[in-house]
Amino acid sequence: MINKKIILGVTGSIAAYKACELIRLLKKHGADVQVIMTKSAKEFISPLTLQGLSGKPVLEDMWEPSKGNGMEHINQSKKSDLILIAPASANFIAKLAQGLADDLLSNVCLARNCPILIAPSMNKNMWENPATKRNISLIIEDGGKFSGPENGEQACGDEGMGRLVNEKILLLDIKKSLSPPLFKNKNILITCGATFEKIDDARAITNLSSGKMGFSLADEAYSMGANVTLIYGRTETLPPGNIKCIYAPNHEMMNKLVKQHAKDNNIFISSAAISDYIPKTISGKLKKHKDKLILELKRSSDIILETASEFKNLFCVGFSAESEKIIENAKIKLKKKKLDMIVANSINESMGKDSAEVHIIFKGKVVHIPKKNKNKLASDILMNIHKLEAKRNNIHEYID
């Protein structure tokens, strides 16, 4: 979002106060924010508050000939990368659907030559009203995009759909609106997190994977226009809220779900730390009657190898977390597991961390990506996947 010019339209909704935090987050991500308020919005929050947060005078009146050339609705539209309406009331959504332009914000929307993203906020009965549904359908047909709403408790005490979408999802949809749709019409299957294998009814073995890399890949792929399916195991945080997520606690479920969904996808990214060995499960609870306990483990199946072998048209990407000979071992895995690409990293420097350094390896080539935040790292990895997948059978050069 760095240096992107975003018009934030604030309309007459009780959620107007949330625009304060939204402005702060947009500016934190490098966006240039210009707030335009409707008359009704000023009943809920002061323009001075939003001016202080955005660092710019709030625009609200289109009838001010003393300012500029009197064409503020055209001027603002021409110099913006995105119009974001958050919160968007039922009344303003109706205006957008019908092409009405009776104030500055509705004029800017009608005169736009940039994407528009709408984050509704209203009572559940207003959201479920057939008129609102028709209006939303018309806006979508005209190319408008929506983020939310979500289900929950409302200011009036009702419970249901209509709450303004949470900041994390909204920020991701904003990023999607501003990003080139590199993976448009592409289906990407991603696995992440750690599998959890039972020893007895009280104990299990797992690993230290946090799932952060997989979540970052899912977020970034979504923002690049992909239809993402995320199969996740044990993770430190909750999965993304706006992406299709399926929980797979152990190797058996992970294997079943990957095979089930692989046929419907173009790209498979296996970042999950899947158990290589599975304990023989004992019914009940093992008793502490000896100084030593010996567990019997059996080798688990290789999910990514089987998937790459069975689904020939699937572009398969693996991860190789190593403690030594990182590139050498990753090259062996790339060939052995019949992958199109593998991402190699140091297990001590990346597992559970917020940042990492990786080497992307494909067809004998090695691309080094210096240590960076996993969100930015995920973007770099996906850019390489995009380029490689596009010329899968004719790779001649390094990818910067």
The pLDDT of residue 236 is 82
Residue showing tokens 């003393």: 66
CATH of residue 36: 3.40.50.1950
Asked whether residue 48 is assigned to any structural domain, the reply reads yes
Last residue of a domain, one of 178, 207, 232: 178
Domain membership of residue 160 (yes or no) is: yes
173 close to 242: Cβ distance less than 8 angstroms = yes
DSSP letter at 57? P
**Count of alpha carbons within 13 angstroms of residue 320, beta-carbon side:** 26
What per-residue confidence (pLDDT) applies to 72?
61
What is the pTM for the complete model shown?
0.85
Q: Where are the beta strands (DSSP E) in 200-354?
A: 204-205, 227-232, 244-247, 267-270, 277-279, 297-299, 315-322, 341-346
* Residues 94 and 161 reside in one and the same domain: yes
Euclidean distance between CA atoms 151 and 82, whole angstroms: 26
> From first to last of its 400 residues, what are the pLDDT tens digits of the chain?
788 999 999 999 999 999 999 999 999 999 999 999 999 999 999 999 999 999 999 988 776 654 555 566 577 777 899 999 999 999 999 999 999 988 999 999 998 889 999 999 999 999 999 999 999 999 999 999 999 898 888 777 778 888 999 998 999 999 999 988 999 999 999 999 988 888 887 888 888 888 889 999 999 999 999 999 999 998 888 777 778 999 999 999 999 999 999 999 999 999 998 888 888 877 777 777 777 778 888 888 999 999 999 998 899 999 988 878 888 898 999 999 999 999 998 877 777 677 888 999 998 789 999 988 888 999 999 999 998 887 764 543 334 3
Is 396 part of any domain? no
Length of the chain: 400
CA angle, corner 164, sides to 376 and 234, nearest 5? Answer: 50
CA distance 283 to 199: 9
State whether 252 and 162 are in the same domain: no
CA distance linking residue 77 with residue 74, whole number of Å: 5
* Spatial contact of 53 and 16, defined as CB atoms under 8 Å apart: no
Residue 46 domain-assigned (yes or no): yes
Residues 169 and 194 grouped into a single domain: no
Whether residues 337 and 376 share a domain: the answer is yes
Tell me which of 178, 198, 220 is where a domain ends: 178
Instruction: Judge contact between 120 and 46, C-beta under 8 A.
Output: no
Residue with tokens 């306990």: 293
Domain count, the chain: 2
Burial of 55 (0-12, 13-18, 19+ CB in 10 A): exposed
Task: State the residue range of the domain holding 386.
Answer: 187-390
Q: How far is it, in rounded angstroms, from Cα 34 to Cα 57? A: 8
> Look-up: residue for tokens 């999607």?
176
Amino acid identity at 80: S
Determine contact, residues 121/170, Cβ cutoff 8 Å: no
Q: Which of 109, 114, 156, 192 is flagged as catalytic? A: 156
Residue 365 three-state SS: strand
Active site residue 156: yes
Q: Which of 146, 178, 210 is the last residue of a domain?
A: 178
Residues 171 and 258 grouped into a single domain: no
The reply to whether 254 and 373 lie within a common domain is: yes
